Amino acid sequence: MENLKPSANLRYDVPAAIVVFLVALPLCLGVALASGVPLFSGIIAGAVGGIVLGVLSKSPLSVSGPAAGLTVIVLNAVQTLPTLEAFLLAVVLAGMFQLLLGMTGAGVIGDFIPSSVIKGMLAAIGVILILKQIPHAVGYDKDYEGDFSFNQNDGENTISELWHLLNEHITLGALVIASVSIVFLWWWDHTTLRRNAILKLLPGPLFVVMFGVLANLLFQSYVPLLAIEPEHLVKIPVAENASAFFGQFRFPDWSQIGNPAVWTIAVTLALVASIETLLSIEAVDKLDPFKRITPTEHELRMQGIGNMVSGLIGGMPITSVIVRSSANVASGGRTQAATFLHGVILFTCAAFIPHLLNYIPLSALAAILISVGFKLTKPKIFLEEYKKGWTHLIPFVVTILAILLTDLLIGIAIGLVVGTFFVMRENYKSALTVMADDKNNHLIRFKKDLSFIHKYELRKVFAGLPNGCKVLLDLSRIGFVDLDNAEIINDFISSAQFRDIRVEVKITEGQLIQKHLNLNQAV
């Protein structure tokens, strides 16, 4: 077993932290822009998600920050409440509600989501990353970074935007940088040069960003036709001095504590953020090469603390975010140190070198996200689900399509309904085995516990038995019978004499189901 303490894995976590920072930077800004809050609010939320959750969380690979899934809620809240400070109060209260949810055991919700749905979510995120980043890769930035919804604010949708940009909006310089970067990242993942002890520690995305900056500077000097315009570069708020920098922090307006709208928004934020977090945690645990399991109740409580801290200093609400988390996994991150360090890098760069970050082309960052997206949706993943059979494949595919055509939460809900149907169908089919011989002896063997979904099958089996037969009910393999099913079994035993049916029950001494069954009338 490898040593998984943070101090022993910095050689893996530092490169991963750099990659996560490069992925998180445009997403924090894009989500803030789309949510109608200051861009610096997105930076604060990203830094808090990294630093605070990096210390408090017990999830080794999850990365938290502002999430696209909350964009509509946040935008509506900012437009509804009288001031930004009132919204920040709602964020703090949302954190308190999350803390309470974690204390009441709400974290178990994630355990009831079928694995096919979780894997479908990951594959869908991969496809969306590729489709959504293609416009940024060719210099078409009408849609904000981090948008996962099918229908967009600019009137386009994911598919129509691709067609639209191919006809009208290609920036040649951005296309050159993105194309070279994608090829390089593929080569970097497969080259034998990475066996070198030093090169092994250097993340490929860092080279991509450096290449993007230098290439654009060369374009500006020598090939103006390929030069990338400022609107296609990263846009970090630049403060003129320390006073202006700290002036970007905002604080909750506690006088709004009696405003019912603040409480309504707080509850909504807490519920949606908690669901997104649990989904992300479940997905990241499946990606973890060391198969570690995150204690979800603890995670909800720590997410609550993170949101309280974010709201107290002017940040947006945060959740565990699958894009950043999967980038962490794909880059070799091993412990919470990667999450913590990415938060430190994000805040430090925003404070001291924002003007340098503003030289980074969005097309270079798009290439990094496309690379991450491909790792989440490799053809191998689809083949693995196909081999598992239709009961896995159909919920998997439905989840992907639903997320692609709606958004993350709605798509997951649709996938969950379909996945639950197949789980119930499998359980329903495999509960009973019925056998008979030519002497009119019947064996009804219960192969597993009986829940409410088996009531119809149980009634049908009993009703189909011929009068005058002998029946052996083999209950020795089950430990639990739903009370409704116990009543059906008791009714059959008590009424068997009127059909001249002799009933024998096989049961193991000490089984818990004995107290629910009336066996006195059995043979």
Quick one: tokens of 364?
Answer: 């270079």
Residues in the chain: 523
Any domain includes 483: yes
pLDDT of residue 519: 64
318-353 as b/e: b if 16+ CB within 10 A: bbbbbbbbbbbbbbbbbbbbbbbbbbebbbebbeee
- Per-residue exposure over 282-303, b if at least 16 CB sit within 10 Å of its own CB, e if not: bbbbebbeeeeebebbebbbbb
- Is there a single domain that holds both residue 391 and residue 491? no
Tell me if residue 209 falls in helix, strand or coil.
Answer: helix
Q: How far is CA 496 from CA 482, 492, 502, 517, in A?
A: 21, 6, 7, 15
Is residue 419 situated within a structural domain?
Answer: no
Residue where the block lists tokens 């000097």: 221
Instruction: Identify the DSSP state of 241.
Output: S
The secondary element (H helix, E strand) that includes residue 1 is none
Residues 397 and 494 in one domain: no
pLDDT for the residue 511:
64
Tokens 């829940």, residue?
Answer: 451
414 is a domain residue: no
> Taking the model in full, what pTM does it have?
0.81
Give the helix ranges, DSSP H, for 169-321.
172-190, 204-222, 242-246, 260-287, 296-312
Q: What is the pLDDT of residue 459?
A: 87
Specify if 2 maps to a domain: no
Tens of pLDDT, residue by residue, the chain (523 residues): 466 666 668 888 999 999 999 999 999 998 998 889 999 999 999 999 999 999 999 999 999 999 888 888 898 899 999 999 999 999 999 999 999 999 988 877 777 788 888 889 889 988 988 988 888 898 887 776 666 778 777 677 778 777 777 776 788 999 999 999 999 999 998 888 777 777 777 788 999 999 999 999 999 999 999 999 998 999 988 988 899 999 999 999 999 999 999 999 999 999 999 999 998 998 999 899 988 989 999 999 999 999 999 999 999 999 999 899 999 998 999 999 999 999 999 999 999 999 999 999 999 999 999 998 898 888 988 998 888 888 889 999 999 999 888 887 888 889 989 988 887 776 666 677 889 988 889 999 887 677 777 788 888 889 899 999 999 998 888 777 778 888 888 889 888 888 999 999 888 776 666 666 766 655 5
Please give the single-letter amino acid code of residue 148.
F
CATH of the domain at 453: 3.30.750.24
Do 397 and 438 belong to one domain? no
Q: Are 238 and 355 in contact (CB under 8 A)?
A: yes
The tokens of 428 are what? 């329903």
pLDDT at 72: 83
Report the C-alpha gap between 489 and 62 in whole angstroms. Answer: 48
Are residues 151 and 104 both part of a single domain? yes
pLDDT at position 81, please? 95
> Burial of 64 by CB count in 10 Å (0-12 exposed, 13-18 middle, 19+ buried)?
buried
Residue 190: the pLDDT is: 85
- Asked if the structure places residue 324 within a domain, the reply is yes
Count of domains forming the chain: 2
Same domain (yes/no): 385, 438: no
- Considering the domain architecture, whether residues 496 and 364 belong to the same structural domain is answered as no
The reply to whether 125 and 55 lie within a common domain is yes
Same domain as 322, residue 470: no
Residue 521 within a domain: no
Angstrom CA distances, 430 to 124, 343, 391, 418, 512, stand at 31, 49, 14, 19, 22
Question: Is 449 found in the same domain as 342?
Answer: no
Residues 353 and 449 in one domain: no
Distance CA 343, CA 309 (A): 14
Q: How far apart are the first and last CA of the chain?
A: 56
Instruction: Find tokens 């789309």 and name the residue.
Output: 34
411 inside domain? no
Give the residue numbers spanning the domain of 89.
Answer: 7-372+380-405
The pLDDT assigned to 460 comes to 87
Measured distance CA(4)–CA(326) in Å, rounded: 18
Domain membership flag for residue 420: no
The residue type found at 43 is I
Signed CA dihedral, 186, 191, 195, 197: sign only: negative
Contact call for residues 38 and 237 (beta carbons, < 8 A): yes
Q: Are residues 456 and 386 in the same domain?
A: no
Same domain, 185 and 273: yes
